[in-house]
Structure 1
Amino acid sequence: MKKLTVGAQVAKKIRKGIQLLDAGDFPESLEMETVVELQDQSGQLLGTAYLSQQNKGIGWYIGTGKRKLDSVFYHNLFQAAKSKRRAYFEDSHTTAFRIFNQDGDGFGGLSIDLYGDFALFSWYNAFVYSQKETIVAAFQSVYPELAGGYEKIRFKGLDYESAHLFGQEAPANFTILENGVSYQVFLNDGLMTGIFLDQHQVRGSLVDGLAAGKSVLNMFSYTAAFSVAAAMGGAVETRSVDLAKRSRELSQAHFVANHIDLEQHFFHVMDVFEYFKYAQKKGLGFDVIVIDPPSFARNKKQTFSVVKDYHKLVSQALTILNPKGVLITSTNASNLSIEKFKAQIEKGFAGIPHKYLATYRLPSDFAVNQSDESSNYLKVFTIQVEK
């Protein structure tokens, strides 16, 4: 195994517990797709890492000492992760959640989600993908009860995004439960599945009474999972807005899965800023508005960045929010700290009195690396206007 010497700052970062390795940590040209031993400038062993290019970083620190990435290593990782999630496996009201989450479970570059009786593997770089046979075999030894598995390719270089991996094939569309609500999902249709599992606590708040008797507007709605949760929680009306044309069909499928009459639930395929103008013109008002945009988006007229532009969404939402109304403000941008996100929100409020009712980070199934704030990427505030 090749040894690499790292500078003092990199050694300090590793000793702090940060596992993601950056290109700047290794200024010299490196051999990719390989396992290495890292040592500090005094020659002291820091531990084992692997190098592989991905969307963020060029590899991951694995742990102290010399680690052999064999079936025993992966088996132990999956067994420990499964034990941590015992409460989820025992919850009959939720059948979809994350069962392995990258560095939060000790191995960056891989996440695994459970959808009913099926596992969904996400490979984030070519090295982890090259370990697929060993990883899947170890996983199946820990989860012999599962019917089958699928994979998503989340790095560049392969000619496919999604595929069946092992065992039985799932129906093209099937339903899972979350907080007692049914959602229709699809495991082999591009990179998406129809639901973002990291938001299940926030959707749970809508199911559990936040939306009862309220009108709800869901911006950047994707498949309207927030809207369905609100409807199941007693919302009298929901409106879901997303620019993607397919969003209407996928959204309606969730409502049908829960036997919800669509008469008071509306779907708008349009840009959210255009919808704000439309709602203002029509004199529409809402009791709850959910704002959960992608970190970056571009259409024909403009670009949007959460880091710079989130305050615009807040200020526009306030123009159509009913008195004493509630905003659910959300972002999954890992490059935006919770303090800076809150600053964007406050800029949008521009002095309008309000109070924070709840704060959500990643739920416990999305285990995080406590030493690395960027690992806990989800930031959600539930805020009530005091007027």
Structure 2
Amino acid sequence: MEKTILIKRKYANEMKSGSPLIPKDALVNPSALKEEGELIRLLDEQRQFIGLGYYGRQNKGAGWILTHKEGEPIDQAFFDEKLKTALSYRKQLFESTDTTAFRVFNGEGDGIGGLTIDVFNGYYLLTWYSKGIYQFRTAILDALKKYAEPAGIYQKKRFDTKGQVVDEDSYVEGEQPEFPLIVKENGVKFAVYLNDGAMVGVFLDQREVRKAIRDKYAQGRTMLNLFSYTGAFSVYAALGGAVKTTSVDLANRSMSKTIEQFSINGIDYEAQDIIVEDVFHYFKYAVKKKLKFDMVVLDPPSFARSKKVTFSAAKDYKDLLKDAVELTSDKGVIVASTNCSTFSMKKFKGFIDAAFKERGESYRVLEEYSLPDDFKTIKEYKEGNYLKVVFIEKR
């Protein structure tokens, strides 16, 4: 049973032009919405058809438009077609023997906002971002099994009240592999855990950036990897001929996880530095010791809180970059990266420019990266193309 929801004039045109998000503030009659997952027929205030979507609360949204075609039903055939198209779009990756972990369905980029699906060596991981999309799980799982033939299926629910992932129901069906599951990316091995909290052990959206570090920048350099998580950038740098890598992250488990990633790639982790410390403390220590690195990777979360520091990329990235500039040797390279969707690449490059100017240093941009092709995006929803990475040479 569809609910009819009216959309305020100031939002209607953008949504008619293909924007898939249904903003909370756009609804004229929000009290009509009762159950997440119910289908909603969106009309403008003149009662012209905008689209058919579902109600599901996620960040600033009240749901996602699934079709702008009047009369198109949201049924099993709809989900079958979306999954089939998405899988065929990644045909080249499925045929690769070098890369066995990648994204196979990227939310609104593939036509269903609120859902992502990744594959890890034949095992599929679905991430549900609202209770609303989770109501369609049977149809989506049926479509996946029809076209992908998964060895096993896992899931993450990102919609409980605190945004935490519940582990107990991460396994859905099929085979359960032994963890860690070893996957490959550009020939590099990663140990992943599909059954262990929100993070699996590697962020798949940085695949092309890591490859560039290994193939073009690492040889003969010392590398500092800040907010290093499980050390993926460090592993690539070591394999690319870096003299030494230093990985710094606040999380206690980052030490054992980084050791594991080095070890499965045959790298002597004892020849690398792995430091469990607040990055902001580390900056002070490194400046005091006058440490310099030939390459600094700066990939903070969009928002982070430690005991003494609250970091927001939108407000604080420039100051973080100023500290990184101080630790970078002349002719050294900074890999400035952010996954914050609230500002554009243009604004990000503004932060970079301001950081160097305020330090009295000059620089040149070597190259830029955004999301790889498997993280499909659409031009009508710019926030979906969140990744911004700039390789900068300190002159």
**TM-score bin (small chain):** over 0.9
Structure 2: distance between partners of 1:168 and 1:231: 34
CA contact (8 A) 1:37 1:66 kept: no
- Aligned AA (2:233): F
Q: For 1:56 and 1:86, how far apart are their aligned partners in 2?
A: 33
In 1, are the aligned partners of 2:157 and 2:165 still within 8 Å (CA)? Answer: no
Q: Does structure 1 conserve the Cα–Cα contact (< 8 Å) formed by 2:165 and 2:197?
A: no
Change (3 A) 1:218 1:30: farther
For residue 27 of structure 1, report the CA deviation from its aligned partner: 4.5
How much has 1:308 moved relative to structure 2? 0.7
Question: Is the Cα–Cα contact under 8 Å of residues 117 and 125 in structure 2 kept in the other structure?
Answer: yes
**1:121 maps to which residue?**
126
Does the 8 Å contact 1:361/1:376 carry over to 2?
A: yes
CA–CA distance in structure 1, aligned partners of residues 52 and 207 of structure 2: 34
Alignment partner, residue 17 of structure 2: 16
Larger displacement relative to structure 2 (350-359 or 113-122): 350-359
TM-score (norm 2): 0.94
Alignment-derived partner of residue 299 in structure 1: 306
Q: Which moved more, 1:192-201 or 1:350-359?
A: 350-359
Q: Would the aligned equivalents of 2:7 and 2:28 in 1 still touch at CA under 8 Å?
A: no
- Give the equivalent residue in structure 2 for 1:102: 107
- In the superposition, the TM-score normalised over structure 1's length comes to 0.96
How much does 1:52 deviate?
Answer: 1.2
Partner of 2:256, secondary structure, is helix
2:317 maps to 1:310 = yes
Aligned with 2:143: secondary structure? Answer: helix
Shift of 1:15: 1.9
Change beyond 3 A, Cα 1:261–1:159: closer
Question: Conserved in 1, the CA contact under 8 Å of 2:6 and 2:27?
Answer: no
Q: CA deviation at 1:112?
A: 0.1
State the Cα deviation string for residues 35-80 of structure 1 (Å, max 9, x = none).
Answer: 0111222322222111111234110011122333322111100110
| 1:149-160 alignment runs, 5 A limit | 149-157=153-161, 160=166
Structure 2 residue 131 is the aligned partner of structure 1 residue 130: no
Match of 2:386 among 377, 381, 384: 377
Alignment pair present for 1:53 and 2:57: yes
SS in 2 for 1:381: strand
Please say which of residues 149-158 and 367-376 is displaced more in the overlay.
149-158
Of the three residues 285, 310, 313, the one matched with 1:278 is 285
Per-residue deviation, 1:159: 8.1
Q: 1:354: which partner in 2?
A: 363
**1:30 CA displacement:** 3.6
Q: 195, 198, 203: which is aligned to 2:205?
A: 198
Structure 1 position 365 matched with structure 2 position 374: yes
Kept after mapping to 2: 8 A contact 1:179/1:207: no
Aligned equivalents of 1:328 and 1:114: distance in 2? Answer: 27
Q: Which residue of 2 aligns with 1:264?
A: 271
Indicate how the Cα distance of structure 1 residues 124 and 310 shifts in structure 2: closer, same or farther if over 3 A, else same.
same
Q: Is the 8 A contact 1:182 1:258 kept in 2?
A: yes
Deviation at residue 363 of structure 1 after TM alignment: 0.6
SS in 1 for 2:275: strand
Paired position in structure 1 for 2:6: 5
Secondary structure of the 1:58 match is strand
Instruction: Name the amino acid aligned to 2:193.
Output: F
Counterpart contact for 1:22–1:59, Cα < 8 Å? yes
Whether the aligned pair in 1 keeps the contact of 2:156 and 2:165 (CA below 8 Å) is no
The answer as to whether partners of 2:24 and 2:60 remain within 8 angstroms in 1 is no
CA distance in 2, matches of 1:17, 1:159: 31
Moved more, 346-355 or 213-222: 346-355
Maintained 8 Å contact 1:202/1:360:
yes
Kindly state the Cα deviation for residue 297 of structure 1 after the two structures are TM-superposed. 1.0
Offset, 1:99: 0.2
Match of 2:225 in 1: 218
Greater shift, 76-85 or 42-51, is seen at 42-51
Identity %: 41
Match of 1:37 in 2: 41
Give the total of aligned pairs.
385
Is the counterpart of residue 255 in structure 1 residue 262 in structure 2? yes
Q: 2:334 pairs with 327, 331, 334, which one?
A: 327
- State whether structure 2 residue 121 is matched by structure 1 residue 112: no
Structure 1 stretches lacking a partner, 5+ long: none
Contact map agreement 2:5 2:28 (CA 8 A) in 1 = no
- Which one of 276, 280, 294 corresponds to residue 287 of structure 1? 294
* Aligned position for 1:25: 26
Partner of 1:70: 75
Shift, 1:309, TM fit: 0.6
| Deviation of the 1:369 alpha carbon | 1.6
- Provide the rounded CA distance (Å) in 2 between the counterparts of 1:130 and 1:49: 13
Residue 143 of structure 1: how far off its partner (Å)? 0.8
Which whole-Å deviations, capped at 9, do the CAs of 1:63-106 have from their partners, x for residues lacking one?
12233332211110011011111111122111000000000001
Greater alpha carbon shift after TM alignment, 295-304 vs 154-163: 154-163
| Partner Cα separation in structure 1 for residue 28 and residue 354 of structure 2 | 39
Deviation at 1:288, TM superposition (A): 0.4
How far 1:166 moved relative to its partner?
Answer: 1.3
1:173 maps onto 2:180 in alignment: yes
Distance 1:159 1:381, change over 3 A: closer
The one-letter amino acid of 2:170's match is A
**8 Å CA contact 2:20, 2:65 repeated in 1:** yes
Moved over 3 A (4+): none
